[in-house]
Amino acid sequence: MNQNSNSYLAEAPIGKLMMKFSVPCIMSLLVSSLYNIVDQIFIGRGVGYLGNGATNVVFPITVIALALALMIGDGCAAFLSICQGKRDTEGTKKGVGNGITMLVIGSIILMIIFILSREGILGAFGATENNIEYARDYFDIIAIGIPFFMFANGMNSVIRADGSPKFAMISTLVGCIINVILDPIAIFVLHWGVKGAAIATIVGQIVSAVLAVYYLFHTKSFRLSRGNFVLKGAILRKVLPLGISSFLTQLSIVIIMGVMNNVLVKYGAMSKYGADIPMTVVGIVMKVFQIVIAFVIGVAAGSQPIVGYNYGAGHHNRVKEIYKKMMIAEVCIGAIATVCFEVFPLQILSLFGSESSLYNEFGVLSFRIFLSTIIFCCIVKATSVFLQSLGKPVMAMGLSLLRDFILSVPLVLILPVALGVEGPLFSAPIADVVTFLVMIIMVKSVMQELRVSAKKDKAEAYE
């Protein structure tokens, strides 16, 4: 156990390294996404689409919690990797220790805020008179599990950066398996409905959090002491900006979901679909979308330790090569997803229960329109993580904000005026294309910077 233990990140073949780190990362994020998908499937079949509508209303609070957890966890992971490249053991320990303290304090405060603000939150995210009771039942239990959820997800990034992607994957996988086992028991055997689904979810989260605590006593490249947990402003100013892109990406999802839900309820009520069908369907589409993003971010975040270490060590040509391979993988993911959503939308929708013909009609439209440019979205989101790995939080944050907030929110509000309830579905394709064009300009600038640095390093080596 020493800071040189990760030197292979600068020596091993890039493709092999990306497979080693990205596959477990993909599995971890995929399993995390499946928590909500599993609930949706069982609730859809055991309670009905109003139950699913209720989970869509509550879903944003878990995204808010995840946003804060990833800001801290991803920031710690990026800082850890850069410190390892620079052989800065003390910086690594202080960054991780401060991150853990922030996770614990922040999660408890957030849980209290959620519990005290339940009615306002449910109203803000589009609860209807038909699903409000289901939403309250689900909310009350999910809120209690927030500290465990945040700790498990925040530490997952740190565990991967410490060189243990398999452990990170296993800790998440175990929690999800428990959730999958308990969901049908709670819903179909015990007849607890949405409450049962929520209980199954937080039990899985508790187990994942316990495994993360266990790992802290078995780290590879550092050992924490009591002093590392004392919050230091200088450390937090270095760590948190590195995770701000992850935070804003998730937070923008909350904002867009809040706006989207309310717009769909308003314009849906004026259409043949009614208020509940559009909101429920788009909630399902966005959660399926999160499965694709699990693959996308899995490749990018899995590569983060490799990028950060090589950038910190000054291996700039190697950093460029990592990005090229990353983009090839993301294009493949986006292409496969596009085929699935354009060709098999009804089959995907049917996984969440059989409903009316109007429900199916709007579902097919939602998949085919809202996710039509997902390949551009895959490239943009992966590039944002790459920029974050290089210690460029402003660029990473800019891409995230542009797509998920600056463009999407106004489009969701404006398009329904002309196109009715189908209008918000076109917001994602427009935002994806515009952000992709801006991203190209950013990447050219970064690649030029890396080329100059590589030439400078080569010249110094000859001196």
In this prediction, residues 105-127 reach a mean pLDDT of 91
Q: Residue 245: pLDDT above 80?
A: no
In a domain, 324, yes or no: yes
Percent of the chain with pLDDT over 70: 95
Mean pLDDT on 322-351: 93
What CA–CA distance (Å, rounded) separates 424 from 158?
37
The larger pLDDT score, comparing residue 111 to residue 191, is at 111
- For 130, list phi and psi in degrees, rounded to 5: -80, -30
Looking at residue 123, what is its pLDDT? Answer: 87
Angstrom distance (rounded) from CA 191 to CA 195: 9
Residue 56: CB atoms within 10 A of its CB come to 27
With cut-offs at 50, 70 and 90, classify the pLDDT of residue 151. very high
Contact 399, 387 (CB under 8 A): yes
Is 364 part of any domain?
yes
Residue 393 structural domain = 12-458
Say what angle helices 316-343 and 427-462 make with each other, to 10 degrees.
160
Cα separation, 283 vs 167, in Å, equals: 31
What one-character-per-residue DSSP string does 406-458 give? IIHHHHHHHHHHHHGGGGGGGHHHHHHHHHHHHHHHHHHHHHHHHHHHHHHHH
Residue 380, pLDDT score:
94
Q: Is the pLDDT of residue 434 over 90?
A: yes
Distances (CA, A) of 268 to 58, 72, 126, 275: 20, 38, 12, 5
* pLDDT averaged over every residue in the chain: 86
The reply to whether 288 falls in a domain is yes
Q: What is the pLDDT of residue 3?
A: 45
User: How much is the average pLDDT of 356-360?
Assistant: 88
Residue type, 310: N
Q: Does the pLDDT value for residue 144 go beyond 90?
A: yes
Whether 463 is covered by a domain: the verdict is no
The predicted structure's pLDDT at residue 5: 54
Assigned domain for 5 exists? no
Which carries the bigger pLDDT value, residue 182 or residue 254?
A: 182
pLDDT-based confidence at 105, cuts 50/70/90?
very high
Asked whether residue 264 is assigned to any structural domain, the reply reads yes
> Which range scores top for mean pLDDT: 18-32, 238-252, 298-312, 434-448?
434-448
Of the pLDDT bands very low, low, confident and very high (cuts 50, 70, 90), residue 421 is: very high
Question: Average pLDDT in the 335-356 region?
Answer: 88
Burial class (CB within 10 angstroms; exposed 0-12, middle 13-18, buried 19+) of 10: middle
Q: How far is residue 111 from each of residues 64, 124, 375, measured CA to CA in Å?
A: 11, 17, 36
Find the range with the poorest average confidence among 43-52, 216-225, 267-276, 390-399.
Answer: 43-52
In the chain, % helix, strand, coil (3-state, to 5) comes to 85, 0, 15
Please name the residues in contact with 378: beta carbons below 8 A apart, sequence gap of 6 or more.
292, 293, 296, 330, 331, 333, 334, 337
Tell me, what's the pLDDT at 425?
A: 94
Question: Is 366 domain-assigned?
Answer: yes
pLDDT at 44 over 80: no
The rounded distance, in Å, linking the Cα atoms of 39 and 196 is 10
Nearest to 244 by CA among 394, 25, 442: 394
* Among 130-139, 217-226, 378-387, the least confident range: 217-226
Query: Does residue 7 form part of some domain?
Result: no
**Tally of domains in the chain:** 1
Contact (CB, 8 A) for 244 and 252: no
Model-wide pTM > 0.85: no
Angle, to 10 degrees, between the axis of helix 374-389 and the axis of helix 276-312?
A: 40
**More confident position, 208 or 87:** 208
